[in-house]
Amino acid sequence: MTATGEARAGDPERGTLDKAAGENFPVAPFFLPKDWRTDLVAVYGFARLVDDIGDGDLAPGGADARLLGVPPEEAEDRLLLLDAFEADLDRVFDGTPGHPLLRRLQATVRRRSLTPEPFLGLIAANRQDQLVTRYETYDDLLAYCELSANPVGRLVLAVTGTSTPERIRLSDAICTALQIVEHLQDVAEDLGRDRIYLPAEDMKRFHVQEADLAAKTAGASVRALVAYEAQRARELLNEGAPLVGSVHGRLKLLLAGFVAGGRAALHAIAAAEHDVLPGPPKPGKLQLLREVGVTLRGEG
């Protein structure tokens, strides 16, 4: 392990937060007010940690498990870790949490009067990942995204004090789209975890077998399937894009970054001719900036 790896293993809070740089969208960019950045980083830390628990991607050494009160011999039990994490979340709202990321979150919860529901949704999504590894229909996948993605957008609106029923509806469309895009980028990685987020009914429609997803490069059928799901994500992004025009100032730029991140990732997937199997197609900075401009102008 490198010195950096050792540092991150010894400081699970910093190691988790450092992952923000690898996301498709800006987590807490510099142009936001400092208090917004502080609270968005706290929300990100929660969301990233619960995903790392669900994916088995915690830093080596078991520091997170110890902080959650899980014995070392049970530190590989993801469901047990998620239960312990939920118990620590309860202490965010009534008590003193043990994990530093949740102590960080507690200040945000109190400052913004946040409720437990979106956080519980993210935990429920990761529990589902331990029990459900295939999705029969697109509607089944959308129900999963309601837990795994939509709470994040709702939390952004809550932190910035801009929640309305219509904005939540638009945010849900954006967040579901971003989740689908991530699934498309990570088909090979997810298969390595024995998970497939491409709906089974769509795989049958395009004559794609699970074995086809294990190839080094995608055949014509897989590419056609990926293009089909990418178009669905694009339509959801377009449906949610009016959210950007419903707000003003720096929040407008932040939300444009979310939409643009999804659009730029879809452009990268298309540029790879929808062959996502060699690795996740990633957009360049110029493409991302272009998409930000298009989104801000409302041309998308």
Contact residues for 194 (Cβ-Cβ < 8 A; gap 6+) = 133
Report the predicted TM-score, pTM, of the whole model to 2 decimal places.
0.92
Region 46-60: mean pLDDT is 94
Per-residue pLDDT, 1: 34
C-alpha–C-alpha distance, residues 129 and 144, integer Å: 9
- Confidence at 299, pLDDT banded by 50, 70, 90: low
Per-residue pLDDT, 61: 87
Per-residue pLDDT, 23: 63
Measured in degrees and rounded to the nearest 5, phi and psi for residue 134 equal: -140, 150
**Angle, alpha carbons 279-218-192 (nearest 5°):** 50
Q: What is the pLDDT of residues 59-92, one digit of tens each?
A: 888 999 999 999 999 999 999 999 999 999 999 9
